[in-house]
Structure 1
Amino acid sequence: MEREKMFQIIAGELGIQERQVRASVELMEEGNTIPFIARYRKERTGELDEEKLRAIDERFQYLTQLNKRKEEIIRLIDEQGKLTDELRQKINQAAKLQELEDLYLPYRPKRKTRASVAKEQGLEPLARYMLEVTDEESVESAALDYVNPEAGVETADMALQGAMDIVAEELSEDAEIRKWVREYTWKTGMLVSKAKDPEQRSVYEMYYDYSEPVHKMPSHRVLAVNRGEREEFLKVKITVDEEPILRRLEEWFPRQPHAYLKQAAQDSYKRLIAPSIEREVHATMTENAEEQAIRIFAENLRHLLLQPPVPGKTVLGIDPAYRTGCKLAVVDDTGKLLHVGVIYPTPPQNKIEESKEILLNLLDRYPIDIIAIGNGTASRETEAFVADVIKEAGRPVYYVIVNEAGASVYSASKLAKEEFPDLDAARRSAVSIARRLQDPLAELVKIDPKSVGVGQYQHDVSQKRLSESLANVVESAVNYVGVDVNTASPALLQYVSGINATVAKNIVKRREEAGRFKNREELKEVPRLGAKTYEQCIGFLRINDGTNPLDKTPIHPESYPIVEKLFAKLGLSPDRIGSEECNRELRRVDVEEAASALNCGVPTLRDIIEAVLRPGRDPRDELPAPLLRSDVLKIEDLHVGMHLQGTVRNVVDFGAFVDIGLKNDGLVHISRMSEKFVKNPMDIVTVGDIVDVWVVRVDVERERVGLSMIPVEQGKES
């Protein structure tokens, strides 16, 4: 398949122009990263976003592999002397690897099969004859001629069976038949699960006698059933109505089939076709479910990473615990560690008065604005204690529950040990909790994305595919926000377009040795940061209070001459960036006319004007701030119809989990998200959203709360 044909296919699939696909592939092959292309090469790609660019990359890689496999299969069949023009054409026209492998199946080297044994016994001519005649008597008569005890064919019945084995295998290897059966099974099949031991209690009991159409089964149920089967609680199979399949198989024969051919068709389906098609369909269900789970995880992760920062605040981070006590860490408004400690307000110690005195002393000693409490073990007991203490603080102090998922992973990591070599893991965790409130993105990039707790069945999906997808999300989020090169950690810098771990460490080392970077040009002095890396990364690196006011914007240095010409045209000085006069003049610019005059693209000029209008802007500032609290909520306080505000912590296929201030998050089922039908919960909410909810169900014993985003009357459980 030629490249141009690939571009045509991808353009058709994605609903874009061939020239956009061609330009995108060429840019990637030139060594440009996707964030760089999406931001700074809009004219060449026709303003394709990252999602489309990644889709182009993925499909182009797939089609390239498909092409290589076609060439290999053509070579292998040709070496057998069995390649015909018709077969070559079918191979070249195959659009999927599955279709390709179906075509290759009859020519694939096999281990010993019943059909291969029959061929060795000389029964292939009998199989050919069996296909040519329409009556059983002729076949039975012919079979007598193939009795050959020396070859292992001792009776006519054995000859007939061998011939049927050959026919059954040929039928099972027909690409059109396999395609038809696969599609039929997908459309009409039922996935059926049964308990291996109906008396055994487990979390899979709803699947102990369960069935659902294959093509309708949602991803979370597919993955749940798969896990139940893997843990040996369930037996799973796919069932179909076999009659239409057998009729279709009988149509494969050149003439009206007699009893022996019908028997061969039935054997072909039950022994050869059905088991492999069932495996393929189940694999497709699993693959689709995994892709959906990965998409959900990726989308949740993106929203988690892009939670608005809480800048300019001194934060007390608390990592709650029972026996070992609650670890404390005070960080100033820049994230610098000021104090670490421990208190024991929870069981079994219950040193409440002593803990209260320590906490009040910290509130007097440091200008703590917010207390960030991790949402793990002992979180709600710690929250109740904090809510009581801050009432005596003598000034407004608020607390917020922070999702601490991954904090323990970070605290035990090599990176954490390098940052805080003198602290134990628990105290490092408290620092992480405080900092992830101040700047979630800067702190969360230090953690393996799989450990941040916003997924669904993340351990049941392809770990390689999940890691790749989540790494792309982190890279996208970091470059979307931009990075202050004078404060960023190596962990954050290494996600910047074009920068690897070595260059990230070299940037920090250069900063520590020579002081703050004063302009973007100085980054060219960093070891291993060559011209291509500089081109890819520099637009995403910010220098606030530097010598060039453009260095704090996302404008790429390659576009600085355009800015200078634009300012000269408007009679402005670059040092007026951000002033009311400058903004007024910029808003009057006719972008298309100015782009023509400045000999630049309209998208580039549009981005330049937007960047200059809001220099130093953080796109996360436009999102709702975290929900701060000053008092605690108990499950016993709840009643049906109660109206609350909460923070969305996780979004899954079947709904969203919302933190309303209880030990466990409440669930808003997908059916209670809107008066209208909701296909995907992510169409309604995302991680971090502040939402109004109403209580619809309270289970005090199991500590579960059902919530609704549709108003509910007081006292009326629905």
Structure 2
Amino acid sequence: MTELVLTALSQTDLAARVAADLGLHQKQTQATLTLLNDGATVPFIARYRKEITSDLDEVQIRAIQTTAKKVQDLTDRKHAVLKAIADQQKLTSELQTAINAALTLQAVEDLYLPFKQKRRTKAMIARENGLQPLADQVLAHLDQQIPYRDFVTDALPTTADVQAGLHEILAEEIGENAIFRQWLRTRMQQDGILTVTLKRGGQAKDPQEVYGQYYAYSEPIKTLNANQFRILAVNRGEKDGVLSVKIDFAEARMMHFIQTTLQQGQTANEDSLVVLRAAIADAYKRFIQPAVEREIRQTLTQGAQAQAIQVFGENLYHLLMQAPLTGQIVMGFDPGFRTGAKLAIIDAHGKFLKKQVIYPHKPANAQQRAAAAEIFKALVAEYDVQLVAIGNGTASRESEEFVAANLPKNVKYTIVNEAGASVYSASDAARQEFPDLQVEERSAISIGRRIQDPLAELIKIDPKSVGVGQYQHDLNTKALDEQVDAVVETAVNQVGVNLNTASVALLTHIAGLNQTLAQNIVAFRETNGEFTAREQLKKVPRLGPKAYEQAAGFLRIVSGGNVLDNTDIHPESYTAAKSLLTLADISPTELTTPAANQRLQALDHIATAEKLGIGEQTLHDIVMSLQKPGRDGRSHMVGALLKSDVLHIEDLKPGMKLQGTVRNVVDFGAFVDLGVKHDGLVHISRLAKRRVKTPSEIVAVGDIVDVWVVTIDAKRQRIGLTMVQPEETTA
């Protein structure tokens, strides 16, 4: 036994490993880890500590955070394994070196497997009966006869019992050998083939042949990384009892490798070979192959889930960051047949003004439908409605026809993705906001507000309910929640919030704040009136210096006494910002004027930063903020597609050019809303003339795109689209 040596992972070593994994400089990595350990949030570091991190963005900072945890977890596991083996007095210097050198958790677990506590096995019993020396002797001297009779005892009364016990020990040792498992893992990943077949009786469970393309499907493991969405589909089909899944691999190669390795150049006699080959075959089928296949499928699933979660995160980000439609009075229109359409009038600031239920569709009678039209037109005129936002759920197409037929020419309408509106409407937050309204009436308000400020409204809903992404219910819940939290945090802090109008739900996602502090801010606002300066945040109960430092720059005061409070300049930089204005001879009242912007633009950044005692990145951000006080990070994003006419699937013809809104981006393409009830699909091969690796290279949720109709299947309500002009399509 060797002496156990456990070396703690220093912050310098941790930073070095993380930097190496991510291709970053160790200095910036260590600086970032120090900030994170001191309680700084990712948005704060990305926005206000650029000089320290050498301008790392939020994605890179989160990657450092995640990778550091993985490295630390690996180190902790190594220490736990080494201690467990040492406690058994079986730790050798070679084993300790191998475990310390392991680069993955799987490699550590492979080395630990022979020492892991497990239930009583036949091999354990054989060892207790004294057969371990025989097993060692057989492997060391394959050219000699196996002395079975020397090991016959009361516990093992016959040579057959000795043979059986020997077989169990050899099979278990071979099956737990880390080298053999790693060899098969590597070869199976390179040469294995995922084979999927229809399970006996499976078609009865799949009457619509949802999994039809996988009834007889195979693909090399090494190419599945480019088609990871198929893994999730296959897994679901297997779980539903429709598909059988396995990995095919030429097992003779594995047998040969194990035998060659164990023989170590020895010339074995026939009896020893028979025993050895039987043990190898049993070890492969009972231990190695099932475990490695399970690991590979788990790795494939984790990779597919990671990709799906990333796609979901990108879609969610673009959905949240859609440009708001400011300054317009909106009518939220929640369609319905039997229960009628729920209408909500919302003023230009998002305030709910009026509710109404109308019955514009059958089964309502003619009199009710006529009355619905008159009520609708009267509401539009009375409240000077400028835009009607129609939910895209049940009766959406019929409602679109109704709205288009009854709107004045100067009023537009748009179709809004209402996914999750019902979730919000039945939530505690909605009941608290509108205690006197029915669920459907709250839904109409949510639909209308989504077009005015997508971020502020969608933030109230569980992001997993907003209808973007793929296979959400098959994904790792913890990993998906972490991605959602990161995306929401990024979006909210990039945009910033109005401190005097932001809801608790919105404030909760501001860097440095939690739900308690968000509630305290709103309560303070309600008790003391509107905030007039960021400094007043320090008076909010339980909002200490650290929370103020992290949050202040993302909270805006639109009409306060200090224009800097309506920028994303942090209060810690107010002195520098004021000195900059003095240096450029600009008064606060001149900000945003062409003359002021020109003077700011003409500054020598290197000399000015040195004179003000700040970094160049900080100076650049201050200048940008002073040029556009109150700027919204969504100003460059795409807004809603406004319409005044109706399109039906029957109107579509191949080659027709249309405009639509991207509703969802998935691995194999993008779904585009054309306003014909069912979204059309632009397959990944039709997104551009060039080869596209991932659809997100070309489109994002919320984009308004030009498309051409390729195919129409009216019966199945499927529309095939292309973003490549037909005459440019290449064979």
> Which TM-score bucket, shorter chain as reference?
over 0.9
Partner of 1:685: 699
Measure the CA separation in 2 of the matches of 1:289 and 1:472: 19
1:368-394 alpha-carbon deviations (Å, 9 max, x no partner): 00000001111111111111111xx3x
Partner of 1:29: 37
Conserved 8 A contact 2:689-2:730: no
**Cα distance, 1:382–1:147 mapped onto 2, change above 3 Å:** same
Unpaired runs of at least 5, structure 1:
none
Residue 224 (structure 2) pairs with residue 209 (structure 1): no
Give the drift of 1:4.
2.0
| 2:654/2:710 contact within 8 Å kept | yes
Written as runs of structure 1 = structure 2, the 5 A alignment for 1:619-658 is 619-658=633-672
Q: Find the counterpart in structure 1 of residue 370 from structure 2.
A: 353
Shift of 1:451: 0.6
Does 2:144 align with 1:164? Answer: no
- Residue number in structure 2 paired with 1:133: 141
Matched, 1:462 2:510: no
In structure 2, the residue matched to 1:451 is 465
* Preserved contact between residue 697 and residue 717 of structure 1 (Cα < 8 Å): no
3-state SS in 2 of match to 1:251: helix
Note the C-alpha offset of 1:413: 0.2
**Residue aligned with 1:330, SS:** strand
Alignment partner, residue 373 of structure 1: 390
Are residues 1:251 and 2:265 paired? no
Query: Following the alignment from structure 1 to structure 2, what is the Cα–Cα distance between the partners of residues 509 and 579?
Result: 37
In structure 1, C-alpha distance between the alignment counterparts of 2:243 and 2:598, rounded to whole Å: 68
Partner of 2:452: 438
Letter aligned with residue 224 of structure 1:
A
Q: Deviations over 1:259-286 (max 9, x none)?
A: 3212211211111100111111111011
Matches within 5 A, 1:116-195: 116-135=124-143, 138-139=145-146, 142-148=147-153, 150-151=154-155, 153-195=156-198
Query: Once the 2 structures are TM-superposed, how far is the Cα of residue 5 of structure 1 from its aligned partner?
Result: 2.2
- Contact 1:670/1:678 (8 A) holds in 2: yes
Given residue 461 of structure 1, which amino acid in structure 2 is its aligned partner? Answer: L
> Counterpart of 2:425?
411
Deviates more, 1:78-87 or 1:2-11: 2-11
**1:589 equivalent among 603, 621, 625:** 603
Distance in 1 (CA, whole Å) between partners of 2:730 and 2:603 is 58
- State which drifts further: 115-124 or 364-373: 115-124
Deviation at 1:133, TM superposition (A): 2.3
Q: What is the identity, as a one-letter code, of the residue corresponding to 1:161?
A: A
Moved more, 192-201 or 220-229: 192-201
Superposed displacement of residue 198, structure 1:
5.1
Distance 1:278 1:68 in 2: 27
Would you say the 8 A contact 1:317–1:431 is kept in 2?
Answer: yes
Alignment match of 1:39 (pick from 44, 47, 60):
47
Paired residue type of 1:267? D
| Residue 356 of structure 2, aligned match among 308, 320, 341 | 341
User: How far apart are 1:568 and its partner, in Å?
Assistant: 2.2
Structure 2 CA distance for aligned equivalents of residues 251 and 368 of structure 1: 82
Partner of 2:108: 100
Q: 1:251 to 1:302 in 2, by over 3 A?
A: same
Query: 1:399–1:628: 8 Å Cα contact kept in structure 2?
Result: yes
Displacement of 1:205 in angstroms is 2.0
Supply the AA of the counterpart residue of 2:297: H
Give the 3-state SS of the residue equivalent to 2:415 in structure 1: strand
SS in 1 for 2:283: helix
Of 57, 65, 68, 1:60 maps to 68
Output aligned runs, 1:575-586, within 5 Å: 575-586=589-600
- Aligned letter for 1:185? M
Range moving further from structure 2, 495-504 or 247-256: 247-256
Q: 1:641, 1:713 within 8 Å by CA — same for their partners in 2?
A: no
Structure 2 Cα separation of the partners of residues 694 and 717 of structure 1: 15
Letter in 1 for 2:589: D
**2:532 is the alignment partner of 1:527:** no
CA contact (8 A) 1:198 1:208 kept: no
CA contact (8 A) 2:389 2:447 kept: yes
Contact 1:564–1:574, Cα closer than 8 Å, also in 2? no
Q: Aligned with 1:646: secondary structure? A: strand
Distance 1:610 1:199 in 2: 61
Post-superposition CA distance 1:114-167 (Å, at most 9, x none): 3212212221122112112234x702xx1122233x31x343233223212212
C-alpha distance in 1 between matches for 2:77 and 2:727: 62
Q: Answer whether contact 1:695 1:712 (CA < 8 A) is retained.
A: no
The answer to whether the 8 Å contact 2:202/2:241 transfers is no
Note if contact 1:193-1:235 (Cα within 8 Å) is conserved in structure 2.
yes
RMSD across aligned positions (CA) = 1.6
Amino acid at match of 1:495: H
Deviation per CA, 1:609-629: give whole Å up to 9, x if none.
111111111121112221101
Percent of aligned positions that are identical: 49
Give the 3 Å change call, closer, same or farther, for CA 529–645 of structure 1 in structure 2. same
Residues 1:318 and 2:333 are matched in the alignment? yes
Partner SS state of residue 568, structure 1? helix
- Secondary structure, in 3 states, of the residue corresponding to 1:535? helix
Q: Summarize the alignment of residues 392-403 of structure 1 with structure 2, pairs less than 5 Å apart.
A: 393=408, 395-403=409-417
Counterpart residue type for residue 686 of structure 2 = R
Cα contact 2:511–2:550 (8 A) shared by 1: yes
Q: How far is 1:51 from its partner?
A: 0.4
Letter in 2 for 1:156: T
Q: 2 CA distance for matches of 1:571 and 1:336?
A: 41
Match of 1:234 in 2: 243
Q: For residues 607 and 222 of structure 2, what CA distance do their matches in structure 1 show?
A: 53
Which among 533, 554, 559 is matched to residue 540 of structure 1? 554
Equivalent residues, number = 709
**C-alpha contact 1:7 1:21 (8 A) present in aligned 2:** yes
Post-superposition CA distance 1:171-209 (Å, at most 9, x none) = 222222211111111111112222222542241122222
Cα distance, 1:78–1:195 mapped onto 2, change above 3 Å: same
SS in 1 for 2:386: strand
Structure 2: tracts of 5 or more residues without a match: 1-8
CA distance in 2, matches of 1:713, 1:340: 50
Code of the aligned partner of 1:383: E
Rounded Cα–Cα distance in structure 2 between residues aligned with 1:500 and 1:198: 49
Matched, 1:293 2:293: no
Instruction: Using structure 2 for the length normalisation, give the TM-score.
Output: 0.95
Is the 8 Å Cα contact of residues 311 and 665 (structure 2) preserved in structure 1?
yes
Q: Distance in 1 between matches of 2:654 and 2:596?
A: 55
CA apart distance, 1:717: 14
Distance 1:9 1:110 in 2: 34
For residues 119 and 134 of structure 2, what CA distance do their matches in structure 1 show?
23
1:538 alignment partner AA: A
Task: Quote the Cα distance in structure 2 between the aligned partners of 1:693 and 1:560.
Answer: 48
1:705 to 704, 707, 719: 719
Pick from 17, 20, 29 the counterpart of residue 25 of structure 2.
Answer: 17
